[in-house]
Structure 1
Amino acid sequence: MVALLYRIKQFLNALWPSVRDSEYTWIYRELSEAEATLFTRQTLTDQRHALDVAYDIQNQKRFIEMTYGSKDYQNLLHAALLHDCGKALIALHLWQRIFIVLFGHFPANIKKEILAQRSLLTKTLIIYQQHPVWGKRLAFKAGVNPDIQTFILNHHAPTSPKEKILYMADNRN
């Protein structure tokens, strides 16, 4: 039941995303100019999601700073705001976002069949699979801290406990 309510909330946020002026003020204060540009290039839906992930990271500030230090906390916070910036290269429609979520629940044989085709569905999945690589590349070109670049690259496949913090926050939001 909790998972269903989460998905309903996620769907409604995707239909009517909003970012308050005070949140943009915080973004411009928190991020460098280059990072803020990456953030604002994202769709409004992705900006809202990134902010929600960042608030999740903020809620873990004490734990993160005690375990890893304040620099890693800041890097995680910035990565939360930028982790999906690679999606800005090719905007996804709402139906594509819904398909990506549903695809994760398909049986293996259906997944294999869809992936074997050359269709818009397959292209949608490629965009989803590649956006971390694209995001890292955009962050590199913008001169973003290499640690943040790594968080962006690995936000769907964490290779360290620190990366898993972002991964979990992303999945909760």
Structure 2
Amino acid sequence: MAALGHLARRFVGSLRPGGPPAVDVSWAAQHLLDSERELWDRMSGPDRRHSVAVARRVERALGHEATRPVLAAALLHDVGKTTSGLRTYGRVVASVSAMVGGHEMADHWAKKRGFTRRVGLYLQHDVIGADQLDMAGSDPLTVTWAREHHWPEHMWTLDPRVAHALKAADDD
């Protein structure tokens, strides 16, 4: 049920147009490499607003342990979603498709064409985002969290305190 609540909050938040306020854009830029900032700038306004909110919650939770790579992980964990080109309603279809057909179908769908391919790419945003961050020269922690942020807790490879703070901030 928590996952449905999270999805509902993200849906409602995505209906409001525009990105984060300038103060939040400036704050985020301080915690991103230039190559990461280019990726962050490609994210939709609602995704950038969400990512700033996640990063701010992580910063409050971890204090001095919220290093630049940790905050970059919070800001960029969903960066792979840009590849799909899906907007709000397409993302709803993709999320429902994953609930019904399972994420196992993502690879199959990504090999198709048109909207089905875009759904498959959206469902693979964790792997795609990790690859994008790796190519951008991001810290291994940042890359790892992008890849693992939908994995079950027992599979996480990050420090448990950091991973739990990132997950809790994303699910809030």
> Which TM bucket (shorter chain)?
0.7 to 0.9
8 Å contact from structure 1 (residues 43, 91) kept in 2:
no
Out of 158-167 and 18-27, give the one that drifted further. Answer: 158-167
Matched, 1:56 2:57: yes
8 Å contact from structure 1 (residues 34, 143) kept in 2:
yes
**Aligned residues with identical type, % of pairs:** 27
Out of 128-137 and 2-11, give the one that drifted further. Answer: 2-11
Matched, 1:28 2:22: no
8 Å contact from structure 2 (residues 80, 122) kept in 1:
no
Q: CA deviation at 1:39?
A: 0.8
Match in the other structure for 2:149 = 155
Matched, 1:166 2:166: yes
CA distance, structure 2, for counterparts of residue 36 and residue 120 of structure 1: 29
Match in the other structure for 1:130 = 124
8 Å contact from structure 1 (residues 57, 77) kept in 2:
yes
- The one-letter code matched in structure 2 to 1:166 is L
Listed as ranges, the gaps of 5+ residues in structure 2 are none
Listed as ranges, the gaps of 5+ residues in structure 1 are none
Match in the other structure for 1:85 = 79
Structure 1's 163 and 19: CA in aligned 2 closer, same or farther, altered over 3 A?
A: same
Structure 1's 132 and 168: CA in aligned 2 closer, same or farther, altered over 3 A?
A: same
After superposition, where does 1:94-133 map in structure 2 within 5 Å? 94-103=88-97, 106=100, 111=101, 115=105, 122-133=116-127
3-state SS of the aligned residue for 1:92? coil
Which of structures 1 and 2 has the bigger CA Rg?
1
CA distance, structure 2, for counterparts of residue 82 and residue 45 of structure 1: 13
Structure 1's 166 and 6: CA in aligned 2 closer, same or farther, altered over 3 A?
A: closer
Q: CA deviation at 1:87?
A: 1.5
Q: CA deviation at 1:23?
A: 1.0
Q: CA deviation at 1:2?
A: 9.1
CA distance, structure 2, for counterparts of residue 14 and residue 101 of structure 1: 14
Q: CA deviation at 1:57?
A: 0.8
- The one-letter code matched in structure 2 to 1:40 is D
8 Å contact from structure 1 (residues 132, 153) kept in 2:
yes
If the length of structure 1 is used for normalisation, what is the TM-score? 0.74
Q: CA deviation at 1:144?
A: 0.9
CA distance, structure 2, for counterparts of residue 28 and residue 50 of structure 1: 12
Out of 115-124 and 9-18, give the one that drifted further. Answer: 115-124
